[in-house]
Amino acid sequence: MITTYAVLSEGLEKHFGTVHALRGLDLAVAQGTVCGLLGPNGAGKTTAVRLLTTLLRPDGGSARVAGHDLVRDPAAVRRRIGVTGQYASVDGDLTGRQNLRLFARLHRVRGPAGRTDELLERFGLTEAAGRKASTYSGGMRRRLDLAASLIRRPDVLFLDEPTTGLDPSSRNHIWQAVRELKADGTTVLLTTQYLEEADQLADDIALMDRGRVAHTGSPADLKALIGSYAEAVVADGDALSVAAGVLDQLTGSRPVFDRERNAVGVVTTDPTLTLPRLVRELDAAGVPLLDASLRPPTLDDVFLRLTGEPGNSKELAA
Ligand SMILES: Nc1ncnc2c1ncn2[C@@H]1O[C@H](COP(=O)(O)OP(=O)(O)O)[C@@H](O)[C@H]1O
Ligand SMILES: [Mg+2]
């Protein structure tokens, strides 16, 4: 089968003065899939989106988006894409409904009133549709912004950190919208700082680090690569060494001690190590257990493992 790419970039470069924001971005997003561009603050995610949506011109490299060359035919690219993100396009003086109708008219959508009502409904904004957008909460504005970018049924939708700072209800609306878009065949490229979000939504993840894609794979690939962190918290120092022995034997990994908390843990990629099994084994060895946990890797773990650089926050002990 031949894969068609909705986004295919090679060596995209962007400088801002002395800041080298993109250092050769290679990205391939298969048509009809959701790609999660994952990375910490400053990795170059927004710059990548602004280039790929023709808001900025690249200093080097090339890309095709929705079948058109980014630099040679930006107008054709623009006709096929939708974009929403950190540069909200909503007019606060207009109501939610007026905003959407304006977009519908601008883009010569057939049946603008019907399309507007359909999108208001889909994003839970029907009740608030007659209020000025300036009175909306952050989550409502974000939803309206996303609705506006969907007016035209784009082939490729770009979402720049669509849920950063949102309450869970708004976040769920947006997650649901992304799933529906995918079901309709839309290609979605979304940036996020949250591994969980990429895990929930993305078919493929591209991990960005300092202006480049450092790693690509499915969420399962990434997690299998990183494994999880199994930890036991015990009553005293004697129990700590027994627990360490059990963890070592179970996983073959070197235990890491946190003596202040009387805790010991290991990184493991063994899928058969479940929390019940962990508790059972520790219990069988007579370890007086206060707490046990098996947690998925954090974005920090991912970065540490794949790039050798800490992410935004510390956390992993040596
Ligand atoms: N307009 C700009 N002028 C100068 N530097 C910029 C500009 N936009 C982004 N940068 C810099 O480029 C790098 C990448 O930024 P950005 O693409 O916003 O990253 P992210 O979206 O992943 O947080 C950062 O070092 C940022 O400070
Ligand atoms: Mg950004």
The values of phi and psi at residue 18, to 5°, are -90, -5
pLDDT above 80: residue 301: no
- Substitution site in 12, 15, 19 for ligand 1 pocket (most atoms within 8 Å of beta carbon): 19
Domain coordinates in residue numbering, the chain:
5-223, 228-296
Q: Domain 5-223, what architecture?
A: 3-Layer(aba) Sandwich (3.40)
Residues lining ligand 1, judged by CB closer than 6 Å? 16, 19, 21, 39, 41-47
Query: Per residue in 86-122, pLDDT tens?
Result: 555 788 999 999 999 998 998 888 999 999 999 999 9
Query: Per residue in 155-182, pLDDT tens?
Result: 999 999 999 888 888 899 899 999 999 9
pLDDT above 80: residue 309: no
Residue whose C-alpha is closest to residue 45's, from 216, 193, 199: 193
Alpha carbon of 160 to ligand 2 centroid (Å): 7
- Substitution site in 14, 16, 189, 192 for ligand 1 pocket (most atoms within 8 Å of beta carbon): 16
pLDDT above 70: residue 5: yes
Nearest CA to ligand 1 atom 16: 44
Check if the beta carbon of residue 144 is closer than 8 Å to that of residue 100.
yes
Q: Is 102 exposed, middle or buried (0-12, 13-18, 19+ CB in 10 A)?
A: middle
107 vs 79: CA distance, rounded Å: 9
Alpha carbon of 49 to ligand 2 centroid (Å): 9
What's this model's pTM, rounded to 2 decimal places?
A: 0.80
Q: Looking at per-residue confidence, does 138 or 47 come out higher?
A: 47
| pLDDT score recorded for residue 37 | 96
Q: Domain 228-296, what architecture?
A: 2-Layer Sandwich (3.30)
Neighbours of 123 (CB within 10 A): 24
Query: Per residue in 219-251, pLDDT tens?
Result: 888 777 777 889 999 998 899 999 999 999 998
Alpha carbon of 245 to ligand 1 centroid (Å): 47
Residue whose C-alpha is closest to residue 268's, from 281, 282, 255: 255
Residue whose C-alpha is closest to residue 34's, from 183, 144, 140: 183
DSSP readout, 47-112?
A: HHHHHHTTSS--SEEEEEETTEETTT-HHHHHHHEEEESSS----TTSBHHHHHHHHHHHTT-SSH
Alpha carbon of 146 to ligand 1 centroid (Å): 23
90 vs 237: CA distance, rounded Å: 59
Alpha carbon of 124 to ligand 2 centroid (Å): 26
36 vs 38: CA distance, rounded Å: 6
pLDDT above 50: residue 26: yes
The rounded mean pLDDT for the chain is 89
Check if the beta carbon of residue 165 is closer than 8 Å to that of residue 41.
no
Cα→Cα distances 139→117, 120, 174, 189, 317, Å: 19, 14, 10, 20, 36
Lowest mean pLDDT among 82-91, 205-214, 281-290: 82-91
The values of phi and psi at residue 80, to 5°, are -100, -5
- Looking at all shown ligands, the one closest to residue 211's CA atom is 1
190 vs 85: CA distance, rounded Å: 9
| pLDDT score recorded for residue 27 | 97
pLDDT band at 314; cut points 50, 70, 90: very low
206 vs 199: CA distance, rounded Å: 12
What's the count of helices (H) and strands (E) in the chain, helices before strands?
A: 11, 14
